[in-house]
A = this chain, B = another copy of it.
Amino acid sequence: MSSSSPVVTKKARASKDAAGPVVIRVPEHTVEIVSDSGEGAQKCGQIFGQVSAKMGNGAWTVEIIPAEIQPPARSGPGASGNRIRIGTQPVTNWGDAANLVVAFNEQALLARHELEALHEDAIVLVENRWATHDDDDIRREWTTAMEVLGKQDYRIIPVPMEEQCLTVTDNPRRGKNMFVLGMLAWIYDRDIELIRDAIRQSFRKKAEAVARANIELMELGYRWAEANLDFRVEVPIEKPPTPMIVLNGNQALAMGAVAAGMDLCAMYPITPATSVSHYLGEIFEDFGGIVHQAEDEIAAAGVAIGASYAGKVAFTVTSGPGLALKTEFIGLATMTEVPLVVLDVQRGGPSTGLPTKVEQSDLLAALYGQPGDAPKVVMAPATIEECFHMVVTARRIAELFRCVVMVLTDANLATGVQPFPRPQLDPRWQAAPPDLRPVPEGVKPYDWDPASGLSRRFIPGQPGGMHTLTGLSHDEYSHVGYSPDVHERGCAMRSRKLAVFQTTLKPPGVYGDTKGDLLVVGWGSTKGAIEEAVDRARARGLRVSSLHLRILSPLEPGLKEIFSRFRKVATVEINYSDRLGDPYITRENRRLGQLAWLLRAHTLVDVDCWTRVPGQPLRPKGILEGIESMMPGGHA
Contact = CB atoms under 8 A, between A and B. Distances in A.
Contacts of A460: none
Interface stretch (A130-138, A225-233, A593-601): A593-601
A39 interface: no
A77 interface: yes
A336 B354 contact: no
A336 B328 CA distance: 24
Looking at A348, A357, A554, the one whose CB has the most chain B CB atoms below 10 A away is A348
B354 A331 contact: no
Given A368-B364, A560-B588, A613 B324 contact: no
A371 B352 contact: no
A423 interface: no
B472 A613 contact: no
Contacts of A575: 373
A348 B473 contact: yes
Interface of A: 66-67, 76-77, 115, 320-321, 323-325, 327-328, 331-332, 334-336, 344, 346, 348-355, 357, 359, 361-362, 364-365, 367-375, 450-452, 470-473, 480, 482-484, 487-488, 491-492, 495-496, 498-500, 502-503, 554-555, 557, 560, 575-576, 578, 582-586, 588-591, 594, 597-598, 600-602, 604-606, 612-616
Contacts of A560: 588
Contact of A591 (B76, B498, B612): B498
B324 A370 contact: yes
A323 B590 CA distance: 26
Contact of A331 (B321, B357, B554, B598): B321
Contact of A352 (B325, B335, B355, B491): B335
A95 to B, nearest CB: 17
Nearest to A561: B588
Given A67-B482, A584-B451, A472 B349 contact: no
A349 B374 contact: yes
A373 B354 contact: no
B325 A328 contact: yes
Contact of A487 (B480, B496, B583, B614): B614
A290 to B, nearest CB: 27
Given A361-B373, A368-B369, A371-B361, A499 B586 contact: yes
Looking at A355, A371, A499, the one whose CB has the most chain B CB atoms below 10 A away is A371
Given A487-B613, A578-B495, A353 B335 contact: yes
A589 to B, nearest CB: 4
A503 B76 CA distance: 40
A358 to B, nearest CB: 11
A461 to B, nearest CB: 25
B335 A578 contact: no
Contacts of A488: 576, 612-614
Contacts of A66: 482
Contact of A503 (B67, B359, B589): B589
B370 A502 contact: no
A588 B561 CA distance: 11
A350 B371 contact: yes
B351 A471 contact: yes
A77 B483 CA distance: 7
A404 to B, nearest CB: 10
Nearest to A486: B615
Contacts of A321: 328, 331, 371
Contacts of A344: 371
Contacts of A369: 324, 327, 365, 368-371
Contacts of A602: 600
Nearest to A505: B589
Contacts of A590: 499
Contact of A324 (B327, B348, B351, B583): B327
A589 B502 contact: yes
Nearest to A66: B482
Contacts of A605: 604
Looking at A452, A470, A491, A606, the one whose CB has the most chain B CB atoms below 10 A away is A491
Contacts of A335: 350-353
A67 B584 contact: no
14 contacts: A320-B331, A335-B353, A349-B372, A351-B372, A353-B372, A359-B372, A361-B372, A362-B371, A373-B575, A452-B583, A484-B613, A484-B615, A492-B576, A495-B578
A81 to B, nearest CB: 15
Given A335-B352, A576-B492, A320 B591 contact: no
Nearest to A575: B373
Contacts of A451: 583-584
Q: Report the 3 A-B pairs with minimum CB-CB distance, sorted nearest first.
A: A349-B372, A77-B482, A350-B372
A453 to B, nearest CB: 9
Given A324-B328, A365-B371, 15 more contacts: A66-B482, A67-B480, A77-B483, A331-B349, A332-B351, A344-B371, A353-B473, A365-B368, A365-B372, A451-B583, A452-B583, A495-B578, A496-B582, A499-B591, A560-B588
